[in-house]
A and B are shown apart, each in its own frame.
Chain A
Amino acid sequence: MSGMRRAPLPEDALDATDRAIINALQGEFPLTSRPFAEAGRTLGLSESELISRLKHLREQGAITRFGPFFDAEAMGGAFCLCAMAVPEDQFDTVLTKVNAHPEVAHNYERTHRLNMWFVLATEKKHQINRVAGDIETETGLKVHLFPKLEEFFIGFRVNL
């Protein structure tokens, strides 16, 4: 995938129709033969205009993708948020060792004594503990595991 745009778009990059599309299509989309025609009707747009607007929004980088969002755990596989307190003078060495594991999906440096936060993604649950244990052995540092105990329905949306 190409790099995601990280700079804000110019103020006038989106018109009222673009904003209405972004606001409207964050929640649901029809599972019918001509879904853009159906979604367009609620927005007062023709099928072809909605499609060309979405293409343009994607090209501009206003949206990163359009389609189904899969629950990674429901697809099979195990995930666990992990954190380590890495001394500054060892940071790069530890980072190389941690990132060398293909099971490390995301890894972020954060402002805290626990300064390295990553997600382990494995096919089976028991593999999480094994990879975390390997990282502890390789780095000599504790890996704190923060598995998800409960997840809440998310109301998050961008409102433009």
Chain B
Amino acid sequence: MTLDASDRRLIAATQVGLPLTPAPYQEVATWLGLDEAEVIARLAAMQDKGVIRRIALAPNHYALGMSANGMSVWNVDDNRASELGTIVGALDFVSHCYLRPRALPDWPYNMFAMIHGSNRDEVEAKRRDIANVLGDACNGNDILYSTRILKKTGFRLPASEG
């Protein structure tokens, strides 16, 4: 999908959230000098194309008691990785699931699944659940816990299409 200047202004205006007012799209439209119907149509088009994944609230996992997370990594048979990734990604405790290239010999893992839980024991139990899902298609796994956030700036929208 090609985003035009109005789409990009709309993204910039709503990236931090929608106004919590009865007619939020009208309010955004007023900010941008558009009309409400256009804002709604543009958001709907972006949602259809996957530029917007969802319009939703973001729970604060720490505040809600889900303070443990680990990046589990798996060496999965290449022929079955796609099929099994679909199953792992759909688990309700996995927040990201990707296939990535291995970096042999240092790094034999090709599937990454971020696991969340209320404590490390729970995360480890969920890791065993994933191991059961993968069965004999998996030839080794590991889990990496984050010990420090070294930088967190978030992603900025590129200024232009360039």
A positions within 8 Å CB-CB of B = 1, 4-9, 21-22, 25-29, 31-37, 47-48, 51, 54-55, 57-58, 60-72, 74-77, 79, 81, 83, 85, 95, 99, 104-114, 116-118, 121, 123-124, 144-160
List of B residues within 8 angstroms of A123 by Cβ: 158, 162
Contacting A at CB under 8 A, from B61-120, are 61-67, 71, 81-82, 85-86, 88-101, 103, 106-107, 112, 116
In the assembled complex, the Cα of A31 lies from the Cα of B54 at a distance in Å of 11
Given known A63-B60, A68-B43, A68-B55, contact A110–B101 (CB-CB < 8 A): no
Number of residues in B with C-beta < 8 Å to the partner?
82
In the assembled complex, the Cα of A26 lies from the Cα of B150 at a distance in Å of 28
Residue of B nearest to A156 (CB): B95
Determine whether the beta carbon of A71 is less than 8 Å from that of B53: yes
Determine whether the beta carbon of B64 is less than 8 Å from that of A9: yes
Determine whether the beta carbon of B11 is less than 8 Å from that of A75: yes
- A133, chain B: closest CB distance, angstroms: 16
> Which among A33, A37, A146 is the interface contact of B25 at CB below 8 angstroms?
A33
- A48, chain B: closest CB distance, angstroms: 8
- B47, chain A: closest CB distance, angstroms: 7
Determine whether the beta carbon of B98 is less than 8 Å from that of A151: yes
List of A residues within 8 angstroms of B96 by Cβ: 154
> Which among B25, B54, B62 is the interface contact of A69 at CB below 8 angstroms?
B54
Determine whether the beta carbon of B64 is less than 8 Å from that of A8: yes
In the assembled complex, the Cα of A152 lies from the Cα of B15 at a distance in Å of 23
List of B residues within 8 angstroms of A64 by Cβ: 58-60
A-B contact pairs, 17 of them (CB 8 A): A31-B25, A32-B40, A37-B22, A51-B22, A66-B18, A67-B16, A67-B18, A70-B11, A70-B52, A75-B158, A104-B153, A106-B151, A109-B150, A111-B144, A144-B103, A154-B89, A155-B91
Determine whether the beta carbon of A35 is less than 8 Å from that of B95: no
Given known A25-B56, A29-B55, A62-B63, contact A36–B22 (CB-CB < 8 A): yes
